[in-house]
Structure 1
Amino acid sequence: MQQSALAILATFNEERFIRACLENLIRQGFEVYLIDNESTDRTLDVAREYVGHGLIHIESLARHGIYSWERILQRKVEIARDCEHDWVMHVDADEIRLPPPDFGTIREAIERVDSEGYNAINFVEFCFVPTREAPDHEHPDFQKTMRWYYPLRPCMHHRLNLWKRGDAQVDLTSAGGHRVSFPGLHVWPADFPMRHYLFLSAAHAKAKWVDRIYDPEELKRGWHRSRAELRATDIALQSCRELRLYRSDAELDASDPLSSHPVLTRHTDTEPREV
């Protein structure tokens, strides 16, 4: 039986990324449920173009002037619990999730994973960033022009957030959305790739991290420290000579991954975080 798949996406002022993200998710065989955290830019204007064409619902989640990541993740768990899809993925707008090389789409790959009795899939993260030589990619064709990346793997299953729905209670918050957990977790042994576009310029990084107002209760627990303590003067672009050049998805190089993001290395977090 063909497996249905739902991607749950939360946004706040993601007009830079929302079109590319939605088009990729729909192309990969997902239906998409969008939680908008009271965006003030054109995020919703763009998203509404896809309603009925892969985007099945848009809901508004009140922001109350702060970024509350745990509340967003808890809402995602509720949606995953109540939906009728076979598989669910927690995804962010700046990510391009991809299938393994032998499959045309993620949904096709899910069929294989499911048929062999596995119920969760991990992604290997390839982080794309602007460079000193090419510092500004704030335009719709950023995927074509921002071609330098590094692989990131702080732990074994760093992006374990595509899973098969079942009766067991799901925990998505303990690892900040990076790793789902539930009784009977059985992870497919091969990682799927994902391209993660961290920021498109130094000004975008400032707007994304430095200007954000974080939930005080989450800060007390040690969450978001690397982002909450970041200053605009800390944002230093790497040279393209320090990074790997993207040629194709099939040639993404996961060898010798970094354990942290270079732009955030002077800060430390407890685990729950979002980039």
Structure 2
Amino acid sequence: MPQSLTALILTFNEEMHIERCIRSLEGVAERICIVDSHSTDRTVEIARSLGAEVLLNPWCGHAAQFQWGLDTAGITSDWTLRIDADEFLDTGLRAALRAWLAAPEPGVNGLYLRRQIVFLGRPIRHGFFYPLHILRLWRSGEGRMEQRLMDEHIVLDSPRTRVLEGGDLVDHNLNDLSWWIAKHDKYAGLEVAARLAAAEGHRTSDEKLTGSAARKRWIKEKVYTRLPVTLRSGLYFFYRYVIGRGFLDGKEGFFFHVLQGFWYRTLVEAKLLELQQQAQAEGLSPYALLQRRGVFEQTSVAPKT
């Protein structure tokens, strides 16, 4: 008998994406569980009409919300899949997952999937952005979500992982560019807070991160943040666009690498400088100022309801 899989999806006002996501899981996931933070559109209605279960919980931060779902959904399947509402499994990945569930490799408890980002309608295939290997499938009960404000990953207690080839987890958000910019403006503030928390020693243990997630975090914390602040984002853009041949992604790729690789990284540094100036004016450390603003409360896992 094939082993079973539960897909866990966080939603808030995702009526534009949720049907595409759920339908891509047909024939792969025997159970689809939505953790919705009280959407005001048709997200819940659509999800239920397609056979998904819906749990409601007020938004408490991405990491805390997902862990709440893991703790509350009563997952009894052999495997758990983390997938975002604006993502979907392509045909190749659906086939690869069905083959894996029919005969999983003994001893393996986590799978890295290949993620494909689509920006302005174009798949991004260069700039070291494809394929992005991301841990999204694990044996149920063996994974937990890092409690971080930003760049959180699933952590396995005893990781024994491999990369599942054969298809892609496609990240294709259908919202417009203004939405994308607003989202990354929020992300920049969260990244500043996460960096300050790490500097203060307030962080979850990440020694069990594996693969590309561990490498990327080490580079960001040990190399990138030690570069001169006025050079960081420019050098990163050069690394992606020139060394990583991001220019081969066409005009859509140019805008993606400029916005995500240069503008966003510059915005993080500018927000950090602004926060430092505000904290100095109030006689506080930047970390203490964010504490007073309640920013770090998002890292607390919400109680079961």
| C-alpha contact (below 8 Å) 1:99/1:106 kept by paired residues | no
Tell me which residue corresponds to 1:58. Answer: 54
Q: Tell me the CA shift for residue 22 of structure 1.
A: 0.8
Which has more radius of gyration? 2
Q: Distance in 2 between matches of 1:100 and 1:118?
A: 21
Residue in structure 1 matching 2:168, options 175, 193, 196: 193
User: Larger % of helix: which?
Assistant: 2
Tell me which residue corresponds to 1:108. Answer: 99
Q: Encode CA deviations 1:53-107: one digit per residue, 9 max, x unaligned.
A: xx2x2111123xxx62232122133146x31100001110011134757x72523
| C-alpha contact (below 8 Å) 1:125/1:151 kept by paired residues | no
Q: Distance in 2 between matches of 1:92 and 1:40?
A: 18
> Are 2:145 and 1:172 equivalent residues in the alignment?
yes
Structure 1, unmatched stretches of 5+, are 131-145, 224-237, 245-257
Tell me which residue corresponds to 1:220. Answer: 193
Tell me which residue corresponds to 1:118. Answer: 108
Tell me which residue corresponds to 1:231. Answer: none
Q: Tell me the CA shift for residue 117 of structure 1.
A: 2.8
Which region of structure 1 is more displaced relative to structure 2, 188-197 or 103-112? 103-112
**What percent of counterpart residues are identical?**
19
Tell me which residue corresponds to 1:254. Answer: none
Aligned length in residues: 213
Q: Tell me the CA shift for residue 203 of structure 1.
A: 3.3
Q: Distance in 2 between matches of 1:196 and 1:156?
A: 12
Superposition pairs of residues 19-168 of structure 1, within 5 angstroms: 19-51=19-51, 55=52, 57-63=53-59, 68-79=61-72, 82-98=74-90, 100=92, 104=95, 106-112=97-103, 114-130=104-120, 146-150=121-125, 158-166=133-141, 168=142
Superposition pairs of residues 229-268 of structure 1, within 5 angstroms: 241-242=250-251, 261-262=260-261, 264-268=264-268
Tell me which residue corresponds to 2:244. Answer: none
Amino acid at match of 1:6: T
CA 1:98–1:117 in structure 2 vs 1: closer, same or farther (change >3 Å)? farther
Q: Encode CA deviations 1:2-55: one digit per residue, 9 max, x unaligned.
A: 20100001101111101101111124344200111111122122212113xxx2
TM-score normalised over the length of structure 2: 0.57
CA 1:111–1:179 in structure 2 vs 1: closer, same or farther (change >3 Å)? farther
Amino acid at match of 1:71: A
Task: Give 3-state SS (helix, strand or coil) of 1:124's partner.
Answer: strand
Q: Tell me the CA shift for residue 110 of structure 1.
A: 2.8
Q: Distance in 2 between matches of 1:30 and 1:179?
A: 24
| C-alpha contact (below 8 Å) 2:63/2:145 kept by paired residues | no
TM-score normalised over the length of structure 1: 0.62
Q: Tell me the CA shift for residue 209 of structure 1.
A: 4.9
| C-alpha contact (below 8 Å) 2:184/2:264 kept by paired residues | no
Q: Encode CA deviations 1:115-143: one digit per residue, 9 max, x unaligned.
A: 4331111112211011xxxxxxxxxxxxx
| C-alpha contact (below 8 Å) 1:13/1:39 kept by paired residues | yes
Task: Give 3-state SS (helix, strand or coil) of 1:181's partner.
Answer: strand
> Are 2:155 and 1:181 equivalent residues in the alignment?
yes
| C-alpha contact (below 8 Å) 2:125/2:249 kept by paired residues | no
Q: Distance in 2 between matches of 1:26 and 1:91?
A: 14
CA 1:29–1:221 in structure 2 vs 1: closer, same or farther (change >3 Å)? closer
Q: CA RMSD in A?
A: 3.9
Task: Give 3-state SS (helix, strand or coil) of 2:161's partner.
Answer: coil
Q: Tell me the CA shift for residue 156 of structure 1.
A: 10
CA 1:98–1:173 in structure 2 vs 1: closer, same or farther (change >3 Å)? farther
Task: Give 3-state SS (helix, strand or coil) of 2:146's partner.
Answer: coil
Q: Tell me the CA shift for residue 108 of structure 1.
A: 2.7
Q: Distance in 2 between matches of 1:183 and 1:73?
A: 17
